Amino acid sequence: MICQETITLRTKGRGTFEFSAEVERIISNSGIKKGLCNVFIQHTSASLILCENADPAVRKDLEAFMSHMVPDGDPLFRHTTEGPDDMPAHVRSVLTGSSLLVPVSNCCCALGTWQGIYLWEHRHAPHERHIVVTIYGD
């Protein structure tokens, strides 16, 4: 059995947004008990990550680390016509990835206790981000 649904998330600019519940809802609606769930973002300046979802400081620290590692306006970059955060957004996306694959067990996402599914917006401006969720299993 296969189930595929595209969802649109509106971000508020750079930062991480949890949408584990949205993925759980799609898995639940699919009726699939055991299998795999792929979450895929159709953009190159936002990414998808699994991250600790208990203490919000973790995502703040993660953002601080990434902003320091891939600084906006780095003179190294030539692709600058769309702003000083555009090329860093592409680099951050390549380093963190566009696609997640999570097992489905007992009709649920088999995440660990502290794992959440996050959209990481890398642009400073709010964006509409399209995400394809595909579930495969029995």
E strands within the chain?
2-10, 15-18, 35-41, 46-52, 99-105, 108-109, 115-121, 128-137
103/126 with CB nearer its own copies: 103
Per-residue binding string, its own copies, 33-52, x by CB under 8 A, is -xxx-x-xxxxxx---xxxx
Neighbours of 34 (CB within 10 A): 12
Interacting residue with its own copies among 10, 28, 69, 125 (CB under 8 A): 69
108 touches its own copies (CB under 8 A): no
Angstrom distance (rounded) from CA 132 to CA 89: 20
Taken in order 69, 74, 80, 82, the sign of the CA dihedral is: positive
Which of 13, 31, 84, 97 lies at the binding interface for its own copies (CB under 8 A)? 97
Q: 132 - beta bridge partners?
A: 6, 40
Q: Does 22 bind its own copies (CB under 8 A)?
A: no
Question: Which residues of the shown chain bind its own copies in the complex (CB under 8 A)?
Answer: 2, 4, 34-36, 38, 40-45, 49-52, 55, 57-58, 60-62, 64-65, 68-70, 74, 76-79, 87, 90-91, 93-103, 105, 110-115, 130, 132, 134, 136-138
